Amino acid sequence: MGEMKSIKTLSGNEEFPCYVAAPEGTAKAAIIVIQEIFGVNKGIRAKCDKWAKAGYLAVAPDMFWRINDNTDLDADVEEEFQVALDLMNKLDQDQGIRDIEAAIHYAREQVNGGKVGCVGFCLGGRLAFMTAARTDINASVGYYGVGIDGLLRESHAIAHPVMLHIPTADGFVPPEAQAAIHKGLDDHPKVTLHDYEGLDHGFASEFGSRRDEAAANLADSRTAEFFKKHLG
């Protein structure tokens, strides 16, 4: 359904690749889909295609374009998993948010000034939280975001609705980090947290061994209702 396109950076001096999936007819809003550490792979492209089928323009920016070309990795292949971890460690996340902001500008133009949301996974879940605090995104969703407990000082800047999906047995987000997230965000008027008991990181992946069908469908239904409410 979608295709790779090049969009301009905020400076306008460079272009970077995004997977863009458009719905039939007029899009009701746009959603930025923020990748895991595995790049804009078939799972992220499938998520974009699903949002397009639901009537949204979906845009998945390649977050690693400055450090690696055309990243497309498989979480179930150990060698590729290690490559993904290395790329994550090399990513300038502050610059990544600026690239997401450029994608927001592009998407907003494509929907004639309409609303734009974002949904991110793993690394993308963290970046979705940062996007909520640092940009004018209209609504943000993060699945198993890593290191959000270290970003809580930015929560005062969140002006639009945020939803976070938190698997309680996440190997990358230990119980003390989850407790800090709840302590810091449970009373935030713009933030909704959902826990998934006994589930691990990556439970909502489209493909592969990490997926838990029932929990993925529950989380995705909550996300769909959230965007329906806040993006229209």
- Residue numbers annotated as active site: 170, 201
Angstrom distance (rounded) from CA 132 to CA 157: 8
Give the pair of three-digit tokens for residue 44: 């992220």
The string of DSSP codes covering 118-147 is: EEEETHHHHHHHHHHHHS--SEEEEES-SS
The two beta strands, 57-61 and 116-121, are unpaired
Backbone phi and psi for residue 193, each to the nearest 5 degrees, phi listed first: -115, 135
- The helix (run of H) or strand (run of E) holding residue 117 is strand 116-121
Angstrom distance (rounded) from CA 198 to CA 130: 26
- The helix (run of H) or strand (run of E) holding residue 30 is strand 30-34
Mention every residue, 6+ apart, whose C-beta is less than 8 A from residue 203.
144, 167, 196, 210, 211, 212, 215, 216, 219
- Of the CA atoms within 13 Å of residue 187, those in its CB half-sphere come to 3
Q: What angle do CA 176, 220, 143 make, to 5 degrees?
A: 30
- Judge whether 210 and 201 are in contact, CB under 8 Å: yes
